[in-house]
Amino acid sequence: MNRYAVFGQPIAHSLSPRIHAAFGAQFGIAIDYRAIEAGRETFAATLEAFARDGGRGANVTLPLKEDAVVLCDALSDRARRCGSVNTLLREGERWAGDSTDGVGLLRDLARHGIDARGLRVLLLGAGGAARAAAFAFLDAGARELVVTNRTAARAQALAHVLGPPARTCAWDALRHQAAFDLVVNATSAGHAGDAFDWPLAAGATPAACYDLSYGRAARPFLAAARAAHARAMHDGLGMLVEQAAESFERWHGVRPETTPVHEQVRAMLDARG
């Protein structure tokens, strides 16, 4: 049986193995899909060992999405543009890389009734997932995309690659910004479990807030958004399912139904508490 996996650190919490097993069940495909712990120092060697052991495809999550780019011999156009890879496909003796995060995000936002076209969007973070989201928002026709990051140079570098209508704003200067239509958290701050330091002014109530993380990792940001009286708040579980469906189609050539799988993993996540 061909093997598949998700690589990241931490990774034990990942729902990806259950999601891909559920997708496989729709088509009678038995899936050997595992979660493999790998940090930046060990990722290349761990991925090589995985390929030797029959690995045919993989997903990549924090903090490895930008590192995965340099391990690929071929990149899709969207992966090349955003400089981020979350989907790997073994082609002979080489890895081909793709980025399915952006399309997964847009599909989940649409499920919530949010169309990025014409919106003023604030993107918190400038890492691999943020890069994929940023290009997706511009492709979808966002009116303005403001990128901010604790390390200002990373936000500036991303905005430079994006071009207009993207621009940067220093984190400490966000309190002077007018209200945004959509605030997206692409930082890893919630994984530490600490309270989220809401950066916007008290009167700048956003229409919607979305965290690319899900479960416990999304709670600090969503709690801060609730306290700021955001009118809608969503975690990234739907994005996880939608980007996984894109990966599944790349690997197996068939497109799974996402709604029943989203409902299944949401119930599972709620049961975890």
Residue 15 is assigned to a ligand binding site: yes
Across 11-126, the runs of DSSP E, i.e. the strands, are: 32-37, 55-60, 74-75, 87-91, 94-98, 120-124
Q: Is 96 annotated as a binding residue?
A: no
28 labelled ligand-binding: no
Tell me whether residue 127 is annotated as binding. Answer: yes
**Is 153 annotated in some ligand binding site?**
yes
Ligand-binding annotation for 212, yes or no, is yes
152 is in an annotated binding site: yes
The reply to whether 149 sits in an annotated binding site is yes
Angle formed by the axes of helices 101-111 and 128-139, to 10°? 60
DSSP state of 195: P
User: Is 214 labelled a binding residue?
Assistant: yes
Determine the Cα–Cα distance for residues 134 and 116; give it in Å rounded to an integer. Answer: 11
- Asked about 65 being catalytic, the answer comes back as yes
Q: Which residue has the tokens 């790997």?
A: 88
**Would you say 125 is a known binding-site residue?**
yes
Do residues 11 and 35 lie in contact, with contact meaning Cβ atoms separated by under 8 Å? yes
Distance CA 235, CA 222 (A): 8
Q: Is 163 annotated as a binding residue?
A: no
In what side-by-side order are the strands of the sheet with 233-234?
Answer: 166-168, 144-148, 120-124, 182-185, 208-211, 233-234
Q: How far is CA 104 from the centre of its chain?
A: 8
Phi, psi of 54 (to 5 degrees): 100, 10
* Catalytic one of 65, 81, 90, 262: 65
The reply to whether 14 sits in an annotated binding site is: yes
* Residues of each annotated binding site: 14-16, 61, 77, 86, 101, 125-129, 149-154, 212, 214, 236, 243
Binding residues for shikimate: 14-16, 61, 86, 101, 214, 243
**What are the binding residues for NADP(+)?**
77, 125-129, 149-154, 212, 236
The residues carrying an active-site annotation are 65
